[in-house]
Amino acid sequence: MRLPRLWVATVGVVTLALTATSGAATKVAPGTFVWHDLVTDNPTAAKKFYSELFGWTFEPGKGVEPDYTIIRHQGVPIGGIVVPKQQTSPQWLSYVVVADVDRAVEAFRQAGGQVYRGPLNARNDLRVAAVADAQGAPIGLASRGPIEGVSEALPDVNRWLWMDYVARDEAPALQFYSQMLGYQSQAEARDTGAYYRLANGRPRAGLFKSPWPRETSIWLPYIRVADPEAAAKRAQELGGLIVQGTAPRVRNGSLAIVLDPGGAPIALQKYPYATGATP
């Protein structure tokens, strides 16, 4: 099944929920993904879907951006919802910390990517931008993580777990993000093809060649779930679409990929999971 091509319409939209709490900023290593924004023109439908699927709650983003919504899970801010100012395909835009946002933006530009927004100051201690790499994969750049910090502990069920780069072409993506984010890649042989674990001090993300026909690459965010098969079926009942159902040869049946009702892809991952394949 074909995953939809993703377009980012962040011109005029600033996703600044990293400023949503108060206090002193904490240090987060470059290459760490720290925030996720859902870009959608139907926030009402999105809230219904994600509240019933994951138990997320929502509140206005005070002093952030008009119509911006903060997503919380058990009281903890974990992301936001942005209403674009021009028509776009709904999608999750994930933010990664970089050492220098301005230099990173120029590196994306020089490598054949696009700059959608910024770089700009959200606050005195926070600089952000929204870009896409040369393969069309949108990504947000931030000079720091949330003020509350980013825990290295295993996230609770129904929170963000992981990021994968679904590549149109693996080799140039591996080279680019090695240079940009300091990732070292380690190849793992899997039944579904080569998988590359990306790390800089600790694992940060993965990368694999898309098994679906794609015009662009994407960054795919993962949610930790207790039962991916049940979660995928529930997503479908709520108006979503199952793109990849659980299968023994795919991480021993621990992974499903769905589209929300607007078409934004998310992965549902049980973790920890048994390696290999169930007979």
Give the 3-state secondary structure of 179-222: HHHCCEEEEEEECCEEEEEEECCCEEEEEEECCCCCCCCEEEEE
Q: What is the mean pLDDT of each run of 10 residues along the chain (279 residues)?
A: 40 44 62 95 96 97 77 94 85 96 96 92 84 96 77 88 95 95 88 86 93 88 98 98 93 95 96 78
| Burial class for 238, CB neighbours closer than 10 Å (0-12, 13-18, 19+) | middle
CA–CA gap between residue 227 and residue 102 (Å, rounded): 41
In 3-state terms, what secondary structure has residue 103?
A: helix
Please say whether the beta carbons of 98 and 37 come within 8 A. no
Q: What is the pLDDT of residue 21?
A: 45
* Residue burial 76-93, b: 16+ Cβ < 10 Å; e: rest: ebbbbbbbbeeebbbbbb
Q: Rg of the Cα trace of the chain?
A: 18
Query: What single DSSP character describes residue 18?
Result: G
In 3-state terms, what secondary structure has residue 132?
A: strand
Please say whether the beta carbons of 198 and 183 come within 8 A. yes
**Strand 33-39 versus strand 76-82 pairing type:** parallel
Q: What is the pLDDT of residue 64?
A: 58
What's the pTM? 0.89
Q: What is the pLDDT of residue 150?
A: 61
Q: What is the pLDDT of residue 2?
A: 37
Amino acid code (one letter) for 96: V
Handedness of CA 38, 39, 43, 45 (dihedral sign): negative
SS3 content of the chain, % helix, strand, coil (to 5): 20, 35, 45
Contacts for 232-236: CB closer than 8 Å, 24+ residues apart: 232/256, 232/258, 232/268, 234/52, 234/53, 235/49, 235/53, 235/260, 235/268
Please report the DSSP string for 113-130 in residue order.
-EEEEEEEEEETTEEEEE
CA–CA gap between residue 18 and residue 93 (Å, rounded): 13
**H-state helical runs in the chain:** 43-54, 101-110, 170-181, 228-237
Nearest Cα neighbor of 151 from 33, 277, 253, 256 is 33
Distance of CA 208 to the CA centre of its chain: 15
Please say whether the beta carbons of 210 and 169 come within 8 A. no
Q: What is the pLDDT of residue 107?
A: 96
Q: What is the pLDDT of residue 191?
A: 67
Superfamily of domain 17-142: 2,3-Dihydroxybiphenyl 1,2-Dioxygenase, domain 1 (3.10.180.10)
Q: What is the pLDDT of residue 63?
A: 57
